[in-house]
Amino acid sequence: MSLGAFLSSARASLAALGMPSSWRAPGQVRFSSNLGPRRTRYRKSQKGRVSFPIGGSVKGTTVTQGVYGLRTLEPCRITATQLTAAETALKRKLKVVRGSQVFMRVFPDVPVCVKGNETRMGKGKGSFEYWACRVPMGRVLFEIGGHVEIRPEVAKDALRLAAAKLPTRTEFITTSTPPRLGREVSHDLSQLASQLRDVRS
């Protein structure tokens, strides 16, 4: 092979390498939310069940950081996308109230894996699909407050829009709303504990 032929072939190959490729990465369908832990001990986990506070704990059932809140009425599993949509609706509604803040009391830290359609059983667990969180009954999801006074009708309307984005029944609560233990609501924690003992017996 002559030197001229070699140089011409080299120029052609280099020109081909310099041309932009027609291949494009497919559109990203998953991970539509930025909510999720930075790292976990295991990449995948079992589906599990939503816990029920049978020990009498009412932690996380009252408003602690804000003035108004949104509390669940049934156990459920909420995805990161649904939480992001609810938070966006809250912030958009409260945008006119300067100084208002939105507090998210739950965080999606459970990896959910899904197998493809028409896939046979076995051959291991499916691939990661999205993050989710297990929310027991009576847990506060969102709180709104801040250094400014928010009118109750504005707060109720904002939380109503957020509740429409969630797959569970919720209720509107304030700082004066009593804690909830399952389906029981009472200001007296000893009364809730006695009711729990009656249910156990």
The encoded tokens of residue 74 equal 């049934």
Does residue 12 fall inside a structural domain?
Answer: no
Query: Taking the chain, what is the end-to-end CA distance rounded to the nearest angstrom?
Result: 95
Number of domains into which the chain is organized: 1
Does residue 21 fall inside a structural domain?
Answer: no
Task: Note down the domain range covering 94.
Answer: 32-48+59-200
Does residue 54 fall inside a structural domain?
Answer: no
Query: What CATH number does residue 98 fall under?
Result: 3.90.1170.10
Contact (CB, 8 A) for 77 and 135: yes
Half-sphere exposure of residue 176, counting CA atoms within 13 Å on the CB side?
A: 1
Task: Choose among 165, 109, 159: nearest CA to 134.
Answer: 109
The pLDDT tens digits for 39-56 are: 889 899 999 999 887 777
Give the Cα separation of 3 and 69 in Å (integer). 79
Does residue 139 fall inside a structural domain?
Answer: yes
Does residue 100 fall inside a structural domain?
Answer: yes
Does residue 159 fall inside a structural domain?
Answer: yes
Q: Please give the chain's pLDDT, 201 residues, in tens.
A: 666 665 566 555 555 545 544 444 444 444 456 889 998 898 999 999 998 877 778 889 999 999 999 999 999 999 999 999 999 999 999 998 999 999 999 999 999 999 989 999 888 899 999 999 999 999 999 999 998 999 999 999 999 999 999 999 999 999 999 998 877 777 676 666 666 666 666
The encoded tokens of residue 87 equal 């938070």
DSSP one-letter string for 32-58: ----S-S--SSS----------TT---
